[in-house]
Chains A and B, each alone.
Chain A
Amino acid sequence: MSFLIPCPNCGRRSVYEFRFGGEVQQALAADASVADWINYRFNRLNVAGMQTEWWFHRSGCRQWLKAVRNTISNEVVESFLPGERE
């Protein structure tokens, strides 16, 4: 694993500067059912292809960001700060 992530604040950096925060999931309503919460907590889409993910730039700006990664090639095609485009 040696791919680069373009941080919106810091530019292209080694993946080892970041902490992986998992797939970006659809937020659940607070009163969603137990089954929905179990699904949210334990199940992942795990797509083979483009996936939007949370990353935290631990050794840089120390900000959470979203990155779109091709899970097959590990190429990160874009990244943005949360709220920039939803």
Chain B
Amino acid sequence: MKFHFRGKPIEAKLGDTIAAALYRNGQRIFSRSFKYHRPRGLLCVSGRCPNCLMNVDGVPNVRTCITPVREGMRVKAQNAFPSLETDFLSVTQRFDWLMPVGWYYKTFTHPAMWHAAESTIRKAAGLGEVLPTPRTEYEHAWMHADTAVIGGGWSGMQAALAAADRGEQVVLVDDQTALGGETRYRKRAGEIPAGLIRTIHAAANVKILQSSYCFGLYEGNLLGVLQHSPHPGAAERLVHLRARHTVVAAGAYETPLLFPNNDLCGVMLSTGVQRLLRLYDIPAGKRAVIVGGPERTAEVCSDLREAGIDIIGLLDPAQIVAVIGSGSVRGVRTRSGSLPCDLVVVCGPRIPDAGLVAQAGGKIEWSDAHRAFLPKALPTDVSVVGDAAGETVGNTSVSLPTSKRAFVCLCTDVSSKDLCDGVAEGFDQIETLKRYTTVTMGPCQGRMCQLSAIEVCAHETGRSAGQTGVTTSRPPNPGVTLGVLAGPRHHPIRRTPMHYAHETLGAVWMDMSDWKRPRYYEGSSSAGEKECVLREYRAVRESVGLIDVSTLGKLDVRGHDSGKLLDKVYTHRFSDLRPGRVRYALMCDDGGIVLDDGTISRLGDDRYFVTTTSGNLDFVHQWLDWHLIGTGWDVHIVNVTAGYGAMNLAGPKSRDVLGKLTDCDLSSHAFPYMACREAQVNRIPVVLLRIGFVGETGWEIHCPAEAAEELWQVLMEEGREFGIRPFGVEAQRLLRLEKRHIIVGVDTDALTNPYEADMGWAVKLEKDSFVGKVLLSHAGKEQSRERLIGFVLQGPGVPPDGAAVVVDGRPAGRVTSSRYSPAKMAGVGLAWVQVSKACEGASIEVRIDGKLVQATVTMRPFYDPEGARLRQ
């Protein structure tokens, strides 16, 4: 297999991770550190340290030591310029005395200083950049289990098998490429339990998630599991794993020791060396010095000898003065002389990996016997087994030299000297020390540095490690990409029954919540939006237009007590509405704030047809249901939104068009404004509402969805002789604005009451009781601060939504809707202004493109103020 590193092809063996393939090909520097740009090489080889982070196929901060090579992938170094080997910014380490601990807080004491330095610092520090790249595929999956086992080592497999034998459904999550845990690379841990692994693979009720890590344990026993390359089509998959019981068998991991230059390339953890050797057949170096206590070094010595690596010396950490080398290790200086070598193998303390227990609410407590923090007081549905519970963990005390070059935190370059300074400056609690120095706050989330930081803090403050305590473990740990959290872009799209008719007519689409609606119709012309909208506008005002309004929320309300319910939740009265009549419906909450509006038609004694705004349907339906609870009323509400198609035929010629297709008497005498009828149009059963959102004679026609496209086509056909045009949302908004009809949520907000919106006429305070009555009558008496007014511009231009209204040079309100009105031949709009300006003829100014334009206030519709055309 081949992949590209810095543009050059690199050969990889089957089973190689990116880092293994690079190491085999001689690469030793894998990254540059965050602050001082010190060269860093492989350390843990298990995805737990920050040293091998690179940009892979445009994704930053990929842990290359656990990411398998894929053919053709492109790998780049990050945070280094011009290259990993020569990074100009490494000069910063010579000026480390300028950057003491808490440097940011001490230096940037004034906002101006920070703003001046910010862009430079952002470029110099940081971990990679997000490149505009082809989208990587992410996906989500959901799984349920009786038992989830985290960790595929010996203990994890035993626990999984035991649960499987009890007949439970088991999911086993393992972050390695194969089951076996330590046995795969530590000879001392025993033979790879091939029999056990075979049994587990054969068990029908055990599902194994390989190359997957659990990054958090959340409420309700939800485990966040990230699965790498679940299939060739996806880079990562987020598994929402819900388990009744979680077994943490994540094992223990090794951490570095403190001595000067403990971060040079060539200083590696013993388990890292063992992994390179056994998993990838790569000897990490030629001449090695082994550092650590005798209990681990014996095992490592025998492994290295077997691989043909010379062992130059075995050292106790306290003997080390410093590791020598610039970039890579050249030797170790000890109290008794120097040892030349190219590899320093660190046998560091092992940390039980039980962060998940703490996230689940368990306690982590210091154990003097193990010299480690162990999980205690487990929640009932979590258990811990194996090394995660400290089974074979037995650390010895370590030396803690104070040096600017003994790095505790590799992620953000925090040294033991920095920690000591932090404590001396008064940050002597581990949690405050963490926040002040950023120790444990880097990409490794404290895995490499937590214990050292606690030990340094304990030593400096004269407390024990147990008294010092442990920093809080929070998910996600390890980190996850934002892409996988966001998941695939599965956004539902709703299309109206006439969608494809609009497509044929050349609709230009817009999104309205989930719906696709024609914004305007381009047709076959090359005209721009403005021209098209004006053409549609003229058709409605002068002859006839047709708009698809199927997105309106539609509720069929039936039952003996329907009127009672509508009286209760709407501000107008509906129990006295005569069958065959329509009324405007306004809904307020208990505070008298406008929630929604629409129309309510009474189709029969016990039968109402309610429309809501497109976006509020679910809310209104739930609101009605909620207000029915406990009443015992006979009301049945059915959401018929998708069942009905709807269109509005409007314009002076609309009667002529509709009259050709129905026997229903459409004359104003028989079918007046605000009336409704059930009828047949072209033998399609319909409900006709004579209402006028756009301000012309017209009918809102509701029909079965399956017949809507046919009805649309027929109306377009029959309207041709009158010059009918389909019109879109943009023309409708202009038409309604000229009539000063408000749109709830556009012209009103979460503080608007009907009186302020000039719709007091829709509130019937004399009704018995209804939602919002008490506070509405209170609001009706109170002088409100603002009113919704109409304005006509005296100069050119149209203000954008939200434009400022200015009176006497001071901000005095805001524009909610504005368009150029062909009827007024001027820009018109709606705006909220202070009450003193809410009177006919008052003068205000509106801000357009930074200039103030004079406008006159009007409280009447801009077009046909008497509504004569509606009633014709």
Contacts and interface: CB of A to CB of B under 8 A. Distances in A.
Contact of A34 (B222, B589, B775): B775
Contacts of A54: 626
Contacts of A30: 768-769, 773-774
B630 interface: yes
A15 B166 CA distance: 30
B775 A2 contact: no
A21 B629 contact: no
A3 B219 contact: yes
Contacts of A2: 218-220, 222
Nearest to A34: B778
Interface string B618-659: 100010011001100000000000000000000000000000
A32 B774 contact: yes
Nearest to A40: B590
Interface string B210-223: 00000000111010
Interface in B755-778: 768-769, 773-775, 778
Interface residues of A, number: 28
Nearest to A21: B626
Contacts of B775: 34, 37-38, 41
Contacts of A63: 625
Nearest to A63: B625
B622 A74 contact: no
B591 interface: yes
A21 B218 CA distance: 23
Contact of A37 (B218, B625, B630, B774): B774
Interface string B546-589: 00000000000000000000000000000000000000000001
A19 B623 CA distance: 12
Nearest to B568: A30
Nearest to A36: B774
Contacts of A58: 618, 622
Contact of A3 (B220, B618, B622): B220
Contacts of B769: 30-31
Nearest to B590: A41
Interface in A1-16: 1-4, 14-15
B629 A41 contact: no
A64 B622 contact: yes
Given A3-B219, A3-B220, A64-B625, A42 B630 contact: no
A17 B787 CA distance: 39
A82 interface: yes
B622 A37 contact: no
B629 A64 contact: yes
A60 B528 CA distance: 46
B774 A34 contact: yes
A56 interface: yes
B589 A74 contact: no
Contacts of A31: 769, 774
B618 A4 contact: no
B619 to A, nearest CB: 9
B622 A19 contact: yes
A42 B591 contact: yes
A74 B626 contact: no
Interface in B596-630: 618, 622, 625-626, 629-630
A81 to B, nearest CB: 9
Contacts of A37: 590-591, 774-775
Contacts of A75: 219
Interface string B660-671: 000000000000
A11 to B, nearest CB: 12
Nearest to A56: B622
Contacts of B629: 64, 82-83
B220 A4 contact: yes
Nearest to A76: B220
A11 B622 CA distance: 21
Interface string A42-82: 10000000000010101000011000000001110000001
Given A56-B622, A64-B622, A82-B629, A41 B220 contact: no
Contacts of B222: 2
Nearest to B361: A73
A5 B589 CA distance: 27
Contacts of A4: 220
A64 B219 contact: no
Nearest to B618: A58
B849 to A, nearest CB: 40
A14 B786 CA distance: 43
Given A41-B589, A41-B590, A74 B219 contact: yes
B170 to A, nearest CB: 20
A26 to B, nearest CB: 13
Contacts of B220: 2-4, 14-15, 74
Contacts of B591: 37-38, 41-42
A16 to B, nearest CB: 10
Pick the most buried of A2, A30, A74, A83: most chain B CB atoms within 10 A of its CB.
Answer: A2
Contacts of A40: 590
Interface in B283-334: none
Interface in B356-384: none
Nearest to B769: A30
A63 B618 CA distance: 12
A37 B769 CA distance: 13
Interface in B44-97: none
A2 B485 CA distance: 14
A32 B590 CA distance: 12
A82 B589 contact: no
Contact of A64 (B589, B626, B773, B778): B626
A1 B240 CA distance: 13
A63 B590 CA distance: 22
Nearest to B774: A37
Pick the most buried of A14, A37, A42, A83: most chain B CB atoms within 10 A of its CB.
Answer: A37
A3 B222 CA distance: 8
A44 B769 CA distance: 23
Pick the most buried of A31, A34, A74: most chain B CB atoms within 10 A of its CB.
Answer: A34
Contacts of B618: 58
Contacts of A21: 626
Contacts of A64: 622, 625-626, 629
A70 to B, nearest CB: 11
A76 B626 CA distance: 21
Contacts of B778: 34
Nearest to A5: B220
B719 to A, nearest CB: 40
Contacts of A82: 629-630
A58 B619 CA distance: 10
17 contacts: A2-B219, A4-B220, A21-B626, A30-B773, A32-B774, A33-B774, A37-B774, A40-B590, A41-B589, A42-B591, A54-B626, A56-B626, A58-B618, A63-B625, A64-B625, A73-B219, A83-B630
Given A21-B626, A41-B591, A56-B626, 5 more contacts: A31-B769, A64-B622, A64-B629, A74-B219, A83-B630
Rank and list the top 4 A-B pairs by shortest CB-CB distance, nearest first: A30-B769, A2-B222, A2-B218, A41-B591
